[in-house]
Chains A and B, each alone.
Chain A
Protein backbone atom coordinates (compact mmCIF):
# COMPACT_ATOMS: atom_id res chain seq x y z
CA UNK A 1 0.00 0.00 0.00
CA UNK A 2 2.67 2.51 1.07
CA UNK A 3 4.89 1.25 -1.75
CA UNK A 4 2.19 2.01 -4.31
CA UNK A 5 1.73 5.48 -2.78
CA UNK A 6 5.49 6.10 -2.91
CA UNK A 7 5.68 5.07 -6.56
CA UNK A 8 2.72 7.26 -7.47
CA UNK A 9 4.35 10.21 -5.64
CA UNK A 10 7.63 9.66 -7.48
CA UNK A 11 5.85 9.74 -10.83
CA UNK A 12 4.05 12.95 -9.82
CA UNK A 13 7.37 14.50 -8.78
CA UNK A 14 8.83 13.66 -12.19
CA UNK A 15 5.86 15.35 -13.86
CA UNK A 16 6.31 18.43 -11.66
CA UNK A 17 9.98 18.68 -12.70
CA UNK A 18 8.97 18.38 -16.36
CA UNK A 19 6.44 21.19 -15.85
CA UNK A 20 9.11 23.36 -14.21
CA UNK A 21 11.29 22.79 -17.29
CA UNK A 22 8.89 23.41 -20.13
CA UNK A 23 7.05 26.31 -18.47
CA UNK A 24 5.85 27.96 -20.65
CA UNK A 25 4.94 30.84 -18.30
CA UNK A 26 6.56 31.73 -15.01
CA UNK A 27 3.39 30.94 -13.12
CA UNK A 28 3.48 27.32 -14.33
CA UNK A 29 6.94 27.07 -12.82
CA UNK A 30 5.93 28.62 -9.50
CA UNK A 31 3.02 26.20 -9.35
CA UNK A 32 5.35 23.31 -10.22
CA UNK A 33 7.71 24.21 -7.37
CA UNK A 34 4.89 24.65 -4.92
CA UNK A 35 3.44 21.29 -5.90
CA UNK A 36 6.87 19.72 -5.73
CA UNK A 37 7.25 20.96 -2.17
CA UNK A 38 3.91 19.39 -1.29
CA UNK A 39 4.99 16.12 -2.90
CA UNK A 40 8.20 16.20 -0.84
CA UNK A 41 6.16 16.57 2.32
CA UNK A 42 3.97 13.63 1.30
CA UNK A 43 6.84 11.39 0.26
CA UNK A 44 8.67 12.00 3.54
CA UNK A 45 5.52 11.03 5.41
CA UNK A 46 5.06 7.91 3.28
CA UNK A 47 8.74 6.97 3.61
CA UNK A 48 8.41 7.34 7.38
CA UNK A 49 5.75 4.64 7.47
CA UNK A 50 7.58 2.57 4.84
CA UNK A 51 10.77 2.55 6.91
CA UNK A 52 8.96 2.01 10.19
CA UNK A 53 9.72 5.52 11.48
CA UNK A 54 6.39 7.35 11.84
CA UNK A 55 8.22 10.21 13.65
CA UNK A 56 9.08 11.47 10.17
CA UNK A 57 5.62 13.01 10.15
CA UNK A 58 6.98 15.88 12.28
CA UNK A 59 9.67 16.54 9.70
CA UNK A 60 7.08 16.55 6.95
CA UNK A 61 5.17 19.23 8.88
CA UNK A 62 8.26 21.45 9.13
CA UNK A 63 8.81 21.03 5.39
CA UNK A 64 5.30 22.26 4.76
CA UNK A 65 6.11 25.42 6.78
CA UNK A 66 9.34 26.02 4.84
CA UNK A 67 7.50 25.60 1.56
CA UNK A 68 5.06 28.26 2.72
CA UNK A 69 7.84 30.83 3.36
CA UNK A 70 9.21 30.42 -0.16
CA UNK A 71 5.81 30.87 -1.76
CA UNK A 72 5.11 34.00 0.33
CA UNK A 73 8.41 35.54 -0.82
CA UNK A 74 7.54 34.74 -4.43
CA UNK A 75 4.08 36.22 -4.21
CA UNK A 76 5.43 39.35 -2.53
CA UNK A 77 7.97 39.72 -5.31
CA UNK A 78 5.32 39.45 -7.99
CA UNK A 79 2.99 41.84 -6.23
CA UNK A 80 5.46 44.60 -5.26
CA UNK A 81 8.46 43.95 -7.53
CA UNK A 82 10.84 43.64 -4.59
CA UNK A 83 11.03 42.17 -1.12
CA UNK A 84 12.04 45.38 0.67
CA UNK A 85 8.55 46.57 1.51
CA UNK A 86 7.14 46.48 5.00
CA UNK A 87 3.50 46.32 6.00
CA UNK A 88 1.44 49.40 5.18
CA UNK A 89 3.82 50.97 2.64
CA UNK A 90 2.56 49.60 -0.64
CA UNK A 91 3.75 51.58 -3.69
CA UNK A 92 1.25 53.63 -5.69
CA UNK A 93 1.22 51.27 -8.67
CA UNK A 94 -0.42 48.64 -6.47
CA UNK A 95 -3.07 50.99 -5.20
CA UNK A 96 -4.05 51.71 -8.79
CA UNK A 97 -4.45 47.99 -9.28
CA UNK A 98 -1.53 47.52 -11.66
CA UNK A 99 0.35 44.28 -11.61
CA UNK A 100 4.08 44.27 -12.14
Chain B
Protein backbone atom coordinates (compact mmCIF):
# COMPACT_ATOMS: atom_id res chain seq x y z
CA UNK B 1 0.00 0.00 0.00
CA UNK B 2 2.75 2.45 0.97
CA UNK B 3 4.53 1.72 -2.28
CA UNK B 4 1.39 2.38 -4.29
CA UNK B 5 0.91 5.73 -2.47
CA UNK B 6 4.55 6.61 -3.12
CA UNK B 7 4.27 5.77 -6.81
CA UNK B 8 1.15 7.90 -7.25
CA UNK B 9 2.63 10.87 -5.34
CA UNK B 10 5.97 10.70 -7.17
CA UNK B 11 4.17 10.49 -10.52
CA UNK B 12 2.14 13.58 -9.61
CA UNK B 13 5.39 15.34 -8.63
CA UNK B 14 6.92 14.54 -12.04
CA UNK B 15 3.82 15.85 -13.83
CA UNK B 16 3.90 19.03 -11.72
CA UNK B 17 7.55 19.71 -12.52
CA UNK B 18 6.93 19.28 -16.25
CA UNK B 19 4.11 21.78 -15.91
CA UNK B 20 6.38 24.23 -14.05
CA UNK B 21 8.92 24.04 -16.88
CA UNK B 22 6.43 24.68 -19.67
CA UNK B 23 3.96 27.19 -18.20
CA UNK B 24 4.89 30.86 -18.78
CA UNK B 25 2.36 32.39 -16.40
CA UNK B 26 4.47 32.86 -13.27
CA UNK B 27 1.49 32.99 -10.92
CA UNK B 28 0.49 29.51 -12.14
CA UNK B 29 4.09 28.40 -11.62
CA UNK B 30 3.95 29.62 -8.01
CA UNK B 31 0.72 27.68 -7.52
CA UNK B 32 2.27 24.53 -9.00
CA UNK B 33 5.40 24.83 -6.86
CA UNK B 34 3.12 25.02 -3.82
CA UNK B 35 1.48 21.77 -4.99
CA UNK B 36 4.94 20.28 -5.50
CA UNK B 37 5.96 21.11 -1.92
CA UNK B 38 2.77 19.59 -0.53
CA UNK B 39 3.46 16.42 -2.54
CA UNK B 40 7.05 16.29 -1.29
CA UNK B 41 5.82 16.71 2.27
CA UNK B 42 3.37 13.84 1.73
CA UNK B 43 6.22 11.62 0.54
CA UNK B 44 8.18 12.50 3.68
CA UNK B 45 5.18 11.59 5.83
CA UNK B 46 4.85 8.25 4.05
CA UNK B 47 8.57 7.68 4.65
CA UNK B 48 7.95 8.38 8.37
CA UNK B 49 10.20 11.47 8.37
CA UNK B 50 7.57 13.64 10.00
CA UNK B 51 9.88 16.46 11.10
CA UNK B 52 11.27 16.85 7.57
CA UNK B 53 7.73 16.87 6.23
CA UNK B 54 6.89 19.65 8.69
CA UNK B 55 9.80 21.75 7.49
CA UNK B 56 8.99 21.11 3.84
CA UNK B 57 5.37 22.12 4.28
CA UNK B 58 6.18 25.23 6.33
CA UNK B 59 9.04 26.45 4.12
CA UNK B 60 8.06 25.09 0.73
CA UNK B 61 4.30 25.46 0.71
CA UNK B 62 3.98 28.27 3.28
CA UNK B 63 6.82 30.80 3.31
CA UNK B 64 8.11 30.20 -0.24
CA UNK B 65 4.68 30.80 -1.73
CA UNK B 66 4.34 34.06 0.20
CA UNK B 67 7.84 35.20 -0.83
CA UNK B 68 7.21 34.26 -4.48
CA UNK B 69 3.95 36.21 -4.52
CA UNK B 70 5.73 39.18 -2.93
CA UNK B 71 8.37 39.00 -5.66
CA UNK B 72 5.73 38.82 -8.39
CA UNK B 73 4.06 41.89 -6.88
CA UNK B 74 7.35 43.79 -7.30
CA UNK B 75 8.19 42.47 -10.79
CA UNK B 76 5.95 40.91 -13.43
CA UNK B 77 3.66 37.96 -13.82
CA UNK B 78 4.58 36.63 -17.27
CA UNK B 79 7.91 34.97 -18.03
CA UNK B 80 9.72 36.08 -21.20
CA UNK B 81 10.46 33.52 -23.85
CA UNK B 82 14.09 32.35 -23.59
CA UNK B 83 16.38 33.84 -26.24
CA UNK B 84 18.27 30.60 -26.90
CA UNK B 85 17.29 27.02 -27.73
CA UNK B 86 17.12 24.76 -24.65
CA UNK B 87 18.82 21.73 -26.25
CA UNK B 88 22.30 22.11 -24.71
CA UNK B 89 21.03 22.59 -21.12
CA UNK B 90 18.67 19.66 -21.67
CA UNK B 91 21.55 17.39 -22.76
CA UNK B 92 23.66 18.45 -19.75
CA UNK B 93 20.77 17.82 -17.36
CA UNK B 94 20.00 14.44 -18.98
CA UNK B 95 23.62 13.30 -18.68
CA UNK B 96 23.81 14.45 -15.04
CA UNK B 97 20.55 12.68 -14.25
CA UNK B 98 21.75 9.47 -15.91
CA UNK B 99 24.99 9.63 -13.89
CA UNK B 100 23.01 10.10 -10.66
CA UNK B 101 20.73 7.15 -11.47
CA UNK B 102 23.82 5.05 -12.29
CA UNK B 103 25.29 6.08 -8.92
CA UNK B 104 22.11 5.02 -7.11
CA UNK B 105 22.70 1.39 -8.20
CA UNK B 106 25.46 1.18 -5.58
CA UNK B 107 23.24 2.41 -2.76
CA UNK B 108 21.99 0.04 -0.10
CA UNK B 109 18.39 -1.14 -0.37
CA UNK B 110 15.82 1.15 1.28
CA UNK B 111 15.46 0.25 4.97
CA UNK B 112 18.27 -2.34 4.84
CA UNK B 113 19.39 -3.00 8.44
CA UNK B 114 22.65 -4.57 7.23
CA UNK B 115 23.74 -1.48 5.26
CA UNK B 116 27.06 0.07 6.30
CA UNK B 117 25.45 3.40 7.16
CA UNK B 118 23.09 1.68 9.57
CA UNK B 119 25.85 -0.16 11.44
CA UNK B 120 28.19 2.74 12.22
CA UNK B 121 26.80 5.12 14.88
CA UNK B 122 23.09 4.37 14.46
CA UNK B 123 23.03 1.43 16.94
CA UNK B 124 24.70 3.64 19.58
CA UNK B 125 22.06 6.34 19.19
CA UNK B 126 19.22 3.81 19.18
CA UNK B 127 20.52 2.23 22.37
CA UNK B 128 21.45 5.33 24.39
CA UNK B 129 19.10 8.10 23.25
CA UNK B 130 16.47 7.34 25.85
CA UNK B 131 19.08 7.06 28.60
CA UNK B 132 21.02 10.23 27.69
CA UNK B 133 18.31 12.65 26.65
CA UNK B 134 14.91 11.18 27.54
CA UNK B 135 13.53 12.13 24.09
CA UNK B 136 11.48 9.33 22.52
CA UNK B 137 12.21 10.37 18.89
CA UNK B 138 15.79 9.47 17.98
CA UNK B 139 16.00 11.85 15.03
CA UNK B 140 14.90 14.77 17.20
CA UNK B 141 17.40 13.76 19.89
CA UNK B 142 20.27 13.66 17.39
CA UNK B 143 19.34 17.03 15.89
CA UNK B 144 18.55 18.90 19.06
CA UNK B 145 20.77 17.24 21.64
CA UNK B 146 23.73 15.26 20.26
CA UNK B 147 24.31 17.77 17.46
CA UNK B 148 22.84 20.73 19.31
CA UNK B 149 25.67 23.15 18.46
CA UNK B 150 25.45 22.15 14.81
CA UNK B 151 21.73 22.89 14.79
CA UNK B 152 22.33 26.19 16.63
CA UNK B 153 24.78 27.19 13.87
CA UNK B 154 22.20 26.31 11.22
CA UNK B 155 19.60 28.41 12.95
CA UNK B 156 22.04 31.35 13.09
CA UNK B 157 22.70 31.02 9.35
CA UNK B 158 18.99 30.91 8.53
CA UNK B 159 18.31 33.85 10.87
CA UNK B 160 21.05 35.90 9.15
CA UNK B 161 19.61 35.06 5.74
CA UNK B 162 16.19 36.11 6.95
CA UNK B 163 17.51 39.45 8.20
CA UNK B 164 19.17 40.00 4.82
CA UNK B 165 15.94 39.32 2.95
CA UNK B 166 13.98 41.61 5.26
CA UNK B 167 16.52 44.41 4.72
CA UNK B 168 16.34 43.90 0.93
CA UNK B 169 12.54 43.99 0.93
CA UNK B 170 12.54 46.68 3.64
CA UNK B 171 9.85 48.84 2.06
CA UNK B 172 7.22 47.45 4.44
CA UNK B 173 8.57 49.65 7.21
CA UNK B 174 6.02 52.05 8.55
CA UNK B 175 6.00 55.44 6.84
CA UNK B 176 7.67 54.26 3.63
CA UNK B 177 5.46 53.55 0.64
CA UNK B 178 6.47 50.45 -1.32
CA UNK B 179 8.30 51.15 -4.60
CA UNK B 180 6.07 50.94 -7.65
CA UNK B 181 7.86 48.85 -10.31
CA UNK B 182 6.69 50.86 -13.35
CA UNK B 183 7.92 54.13 -11.82
CA UNK B 184 11.30 52.65 -11.02
CA UNK B 185 11.77 51.73 -14.71
CA UNK B 186 11.54 55.39 -15.76
CA UNK B 187 14.35 56.50 -13.46
Instruction: List chain A positions with a Cβ less than 8 A from chain B.
Output: 3, 6, 10, 13-14, 16-17, 20-21, 23, 26, 29-30, 32-33, 36-37, 40, 43-44, 47, 50-51, 56, 59, 62-63, 66-67, 69-70, 73-74, 77, 81-86
Contact = CB atoms under 8 A, between A and B. Distances in A.
Given A84-B172, A86-B172, A17 B65 contact: no
A82 B178 contact: yes
A29 B34 CA distance: 11
Interface residues of B, number: 41
B2 A33 contact: no
B12 A56 contact: no
B27 A29 contact: yes
B31 A83 contact: no
A67 B61 contact: yes
B20 to A, nearest CB: 10
Interface in B47-85: 50, 53-54, 57-58, 61-62, 65-66, 69-70, 72-74
A3 B8 CA distance: 14
Contacts of B12: 13-14, 17
Contacts, number: 107
Contact residues of A: prevailing secondary structure: helix
A77 B27 CA distance: 11
A83 B66 contact: yes
B58 A33 contact: no
A70 B5 contact: no
- 3 smallest A-B Cβ distances: which pairs? A82-B73, A84-B178, A73-B66
B45 A73 contact: no
